[in-house]
Amino acid sequence: MLLNYIGAFLLIVFGLYIILVKKNLIKIVVGMSLLDTGINLLLVSVGFRPGGTAPLFMNDLKPGSFFVDPVPQALTLTSIVIGACVTALALSLVIKVKEHYGTIDADKVRRLNG
Amino acid sequence: MNGYSSILPLMAIMLPFLAAFIIALTGNKALGLKRVLAVIFTFIPLLAVILLFKPIIENGHIVSYWLGNWVPEKTWAIGIGLEIDAFGLFCGLIITLTCFLSSIFSIRYMEKDNGLEKYYTMFMLLTASMIGFVFTGDLFNMYVMLEIMTFAAIGLTAFRNHKYKSIEAGFKYIVIGSLGSSLILLGTVLIYAQAHTLNIAQISAILHGNYNAVTIFALALMLTGYAVKAFLVPCHTWPADAHMSAPSSISMLLSGVMSKTGIFGIIRILYMIYRSKCVAAPSMEFLMIFWGTITMLIGASMAIIQTDFKRLLAFSSVSQIGYVIVGFGVGLSAKTSVAVTGTMGGLYHMLNHAMFKSLAFLCAGAVLYRTGTTDTTKLGGLAKKMPYTTVLFMISLASIAGMPPFNGFVSKWLIYQSTFEAGYWPVTIIALLVSVMTLAYFIKLAQSVFFGKIHKEHENIKEIPWSMRVPMIVLAAVCIFAGTFWNVISDKLIEPAAYAIYNIQGYIDVMFNKGYAQNMFNHEIPIPKMTRAMAGYWSPINWLLLFVVLIIGFIVIASLLSKGNKKESIIDLSDTKYDTFTGGEKEYFSHMAGNDLFWGLKHQFRGYFKTLKNAHSGIVNDYVLWVAACAAVVTIYLFAVL
């Protein structure tokens, strides 16, 4: 269980590191996606209970069995959808940046400054 | 609660969403119908908000609605609840009014663009998500609405995608904006892990007195995340790009209204979820006042050195948001009467900023519509060609600079007074200084765009059409009304909203049952008395009369003088006999460019301005670093003091 939290933390840190350091705009988008993935892992780990079953009401539930928290799973789905939207929109903007600037180097895409 | 008032908030959220999908489905046919749809479906939420005034403001109720009738089970929230108190309604009024006016302005303003079905789809999404954000009572729902809002705003920023600046601004916005959203989501997750619920009312009841390291970390993350949305320094780098690149009808929403949603989030966190940690806590008061002061100072300094009309307005927005945050920072003070004055000042400035900044952006849009540029070095002398726009811009100028009969004065006065009474007198001085700077850069803007000599290529321009003038006139009327009849605004809007901010117990009880909050808290949470004793009385009517007299006097004298001048000094410069006196040089056009009006000031402080200019390097990695560093600093500070 601790491993999940460590993994989530590492994913978030790596994502942030990529956004901060990499100059290629596509890599920045990859970093954003990684950051999102880390948060999703954290989110789904929060709702996990050791030994719990999937939160479905079935007829053959054994006595004494219990569910994992279903709310974080619903939230994770929402968050995944939003993350996919972010990636798609950002990548389409990168295509347009390439059309206008001829480059996707963050150091050169800086006409709006000051 | 009677039936109609509880269904109204849902209608205000769902109908614009529905309109967005209808517009998207019909494709690029029947543009006129889409325009009408947009106006109608932004008017309906406005109507809903106005109808909600009676139960919420007059009767003092808090309206709630459980979606799908998933009411709490054993006082445990399981569904998504909408909850509208006076503060939410106040923000809802700002949002719906400006969206409605923007939809009217868009009719003619956007007529030359293609792909308008996408514009209107995203416009309706933006409207609906902003209303949903302030009406919801669910923390995760707030995040979702915020994301829809950000997407719609990015799409609209990059709408004119044949221009390089729209694309670049859109990309920077999505990187920084989604980083902010990620911080908010992370904070939400951490709070959920502690409280096991997402209902704001229940979270604040459960967390009360049970704060630990995780919740404080969540507070730091969410504060920074919402600071990105409300563009507090140093997370203020994206609005300048985005607001200058978006169409003006959208810039007005981004700058005037979307920033208020960030402030709404900050208020809900500080005053509701972390009530016992933040209210009457000097360390939090210091943090917010310090943050606001830095924001107003840097925003105004950056605005002075801008040469683009809309970019200047965007930095001006940053500086005005600083005032609002300072007001709410004082609201966290332990001295309740000062705190109330500060909160009222912050609320009043939220309303005023939305009005005068929207008006200023619409003026920029009007100039762009007729001349095709917003670069102040290429503009000048539009006053004769566009008299309405000029007068409306001057009203916006007077309001934002805080001249007495206009609305900016009232709110700034409240903020000056509350900071002084709270013992933060250096902040009062900086706020006054920033107000002077605000006047300076707006004068520069007015001088370089509307006065001086007109450029040759602009000699044939006309005044903008009436459908664009009417929204501007409405905004200007609100500016004057809110400044002159501040008693009415204060009674009907500001005081109920300020009361609602502090009325955490009522907010929680409405969602569950009476006495639930007191049961959880074990004691009564005091609500400070809404007093205007500290607010400083003054008589706006006299100022208005004085203002009108001065204006009339000025017009009379000016017309007399100009008549006199016409008789005597008509010198034909083309006549060669004057060459003896002038040396024979050709008389050339010597309009002082807008960026030169304060060249002396800029030269004296060139080190300071140059550092600031270089710091805003335009590289997206740097901006992300600023946000990350801000999150780190806030986290360390909160762990140190809480």
> How far is residue B373's CA from residue B390's CA, in Å, rounded to a whole number?
16
With contact defined as beta carbons under 8 Å apart, do B479 and B328 qualify?
no
Categorize the per-residue pLDDT at B1 as very low, low, confident or very high, splitting at 50, 70 and 90: very low
Q: Nearest chain B Cα to A28, which residue?
A: B175
Q: What is the pLDDT of residue B183?
A: 94
pTM: 0.91
Task: Note whether B174 contacts A90, CB cutoff 8 Å.
Answer: yes
Mutating which of B138, B144, B185 best tests the A interface, going by the most A Cβ atoms within 10 A? B185
Give the dihedral sign, CA B256/B257/B261/B263. positive
How close does chain B come to A103, measured CA to CA in Å?
12
Higher pLDDT, A68 or B124: B124
Task: Note whether B617 contacts A79, CB cutoff 8 Å.
Answer: no
Burial class (CB in 10 A: 0-12, 13-18, 19+), B247: buried
Q: A80 at the B interface (CB within 8 A)?
A: no
Interface of B with A in 579-618 (CB under 8 A): 613-614, 616-618
With contact defined as beta carbons under 8 Å apart, do B394 and B443 qualify?
no
**Average pLDDT, integer, range A24-50:** 92
With contact defined as beta carbons under 8 Å apart, do B136 and B202 qualify?
no
**Average pLDDT, integer, range B290-311:** 91
Nearest by Cα to B489 from B419, B406, B432, B428: B406
Higher pLDDT, B147 or B575: B147
**Average pLDDT, integer, range B224-239:** 91
> How far is residue B313's CA from residue B300's CA, in Å, rounded to a whole number?
10
Query: Percentage of chain B surpassing pLDDT 70?
Result: 93
CATH number of the domain located at residue range(s) A2-49+69-101 in this protein = 1.10.287.3510
On chain A, the residues whose CB falls within 8 A of the CB of B151 are 85, 89
**Average pLDDT, integer, range B575-599:** 58
Nearest by Cα to B70 from B20, B17, B138, B15: B138
With contact defined as beta carbons under 8 Å apart, do B65 and B14 qualify?
no
Position A24 pLDDT exceeds 70: yes
How close does chain B come to A10, measured CA to CA in Å?
14
Q: What DSSP string describes B395-433?
A: HHHHHHHT-TTSHHHHHHHHHHHHHHHTT-HHHHHHHHH
Task: Note whether B174 contacts A12, CB cutoff 8 Å.
Answer: no
**Average pLDDT, integer, range B351-378:** 90
Contact partners, residue A21, CB within 8 Å, separation at least 6: B621
Closest residue to B186, CB basis, from A39, A82, A111: A39
On chain B, the residues whose CB falls within 8 A of the CB of A104 are none
Task: Note whether A113 contacts B167, CB cutoff 8 Å.
Answer: no
Task: Note whether A110 contacts B154, CB cutoff 8 Å.
Answer: no
Angle between helices B466-484 and B86-109 (to 10 degrees): 150
Query: Percentage of chain A surpassing pLDDT 70?
Result: 100
Q: What is the pLDDT of residue A93?
A: 93
On chain A, the residues whose CB falls within 8 A of the CB of B178 are 32, 86, 90
Query: What does the pLDDT look like over B156-173, one tens digit per residue?
Result: 999 988 889 999 999 999
Position B522 pLDDT exceeds 90: no
Q: Nearest chain A Cα to B159, which residue?
A: A93
Task: Note whether A16 contacts B170, CB cutoff 8 Å.
Answer: no
**What are the start-end ranges of the H helices in B230-379?**
237-245, 248-253, 259-267, 275-278, 282-304, 309-330, 336-371
Task: Note whether A16 contacts B305, CB cutoff 8 Å.
Answer: no
> How far is residue B78's CA from residue B197's CA, in Å, rounded to a whole number?
8
Task: Write out B210-228 in H/E/C secondary structure.
Answer: CCCHHHHHHHHHHHHHHHH
Is residue B362 classed as helix, strand or coil in its secondary structure? helix
> How far is residue B343's CA from residue B494's CA, in Å, rounded to a whole number?
9
Residue type, B112: K
On chain A, the residues whose CB falls within 8 A of the CB of B169 are 112
Query: What does the pLDDT look like over B204-220, one tens digit per residue?
Result: 888 888 888 999 999 99
Higher pLDDT, B527 or B183: B183
On chain A, the residues whose CB falls within 8 A of the CB of B165 are 111-112
- Half-sphere exposure (CA, 13 Å, Cβ side) for B604? 3
Domain boundaries, given as residue ranges, for chain B: 3-549+595-641
Q: What is the pLDDT of residue B538?
A: 62
With contact defined as beta carbons under 8 Å apart, do A39 and A16 qualify?
no
**Average pLDDT, integer, range B36-58:** 91
Mean pLDDT of chain A: 89
**Average pLDDT, integer, range B425-444:** 90
Q: What is the pLDDT of residue B96?
A: 94
Closest residue to B144, CB basis, from A25, A78, A97: A78
Task: Note whether A19 contacts B240, CB cutoff 8 Å.
Answer: no
Burial class (CB in 10 A: 0-12, 13-18, 19+), B492: middle
Q: What DSSP string describes B80-124?
A: -EEEE-HHHHHHHHHHHHHHHHHHHHHHHHTTT-S-HHHHHHHHH
On chain A, the residues whose CB falls within 8 A of the CB of B624 are 16, 19-20
Residue type, B117: E
Q: What is the pLDDT of residue B587?
A: 53
For the ranges B10-24, B173-187, B199-213, B518-532, the lowest mean pLDDT is seen at: B518-532
On chain A, the residues whose CB falls within 8 A of the CB of B179 are 19, 32, 35
Nearest by Cα to B91 from B340, B356, B268: B268
The CA-based angle B276-B281-B287, given to 5 degrees, is 120
Q: What is the pLDDT of residue B594?
A: 47
Q: Which residues of B398-419 are buried (b: 16+ CB within 10 A; e: fewer)?
A: bbbbbbbbbbbbbbbbbbbbbb
On chain A, the residues whose CB falls within 8 A of the CB of B618 are 109-114
Domain boundaries, given as residue ranges, for chain A: 2-49+69-101
With contact defined as beta carbons under 8 Å apart, do B507 and B513 qualify?
no
Q: What is the pLDDT of residue B584?
A: 56
Position B64 pLDDT exceeds 90: no
Position B525 pLDDT exceeds 90: no
With contact defined as beta carbons under 8 Å apart, do B135 and B92 qualify?
yes
With contact defined as beta carbons under 8 Å apart, do B117 and B34 qualify?
yes
Task: Note whether A82 contacts B158, CB cutoff 8 Å.
Answer: no
Mean pLDDT of chain B: 87
How close does chain B come to A55, measured CA to CA in Å?
15
Categorize the per-residue pLDDT at B393 as very low, low, confident or very high, splitting at 50, 70 and 90: very high
Query: Percentage of chain B surpassing pLDDT 90?
Result: 43
Mutating which of B73, B175, B244, B301 best tests the A interface, going by the most A Cβ atoms within 10 A? B175
How close does chain B come to A5, measured CA to CA in Å?
12
Categorize the per-residue pLDDT at B539 as very low, low, confident or very high, splitting at 50, 70 and 90: low
Closest residue to A97, CB basis, from B171, B178, B185: B171
The CA-based angle B13-B471-B395, given to 5 degrees, is 125
The residue whose two tokens read 């100039």 is B367
Categorize the per-residue pLDDT at B626 as very low, low, confident or very high, splitting at 50, 70 and 90: very high
Task: Note whether A107 contacts B628, CB cutoff 8 Å.
Answer: no
Residues forming beta bridges with residue B84, ordered by sequence position? B63
Q: B624 at the A interface (CB within 8 A)?
A: yes
Interface of B with A in 198-217 (CB under 8 A): 198
With contact defined as beta carbons under 8 Å apart, do B168 and B213 qualify?
no
Q: What is the pLDDT of residue B583?
A: 60
Nearest by Cα to B141 from B225, B190, B87, B79: B79
On chain A, the residues whose CB falls within 8 A of the CB of B161 are 96
Query: What does the pLDDT look like over B544-580, one tens digit per residue?
Result: 777 788 888 888 888 887 765 555 455 555 666 656 6
**Average pLDDT, integer, range A49-65:** 77
Task: Write out B557-587 in H/E/C secondary structure.
Answer: HHHHHHHHHHHHCCCCCCCHHHHHHHCCCCC
> How far is residue B626's CA from residue B505's CA, in Å, rounded to a whole number?
37
The residue whose two tokens read 């989030």 is B265
Categorize the per-residue pLDDT at B638 as very low, low, confident or very high, splitting at 50, 70 and 90: very high
Higher pLDDT, B235 or A61: B235
**What is the gyration radius of the CA atoms in chain B, in angstroms?**
25
On chain B, the residues whose CB falls within 8 A of the CB of A100 are 164, 167-168
Nearest by Cα to B486 from B596, B364, B384, B404: B404
Q: What is the pLDDT of residue B591?
A: 47
**Average pLDDT, integer, range B473-493:** 89
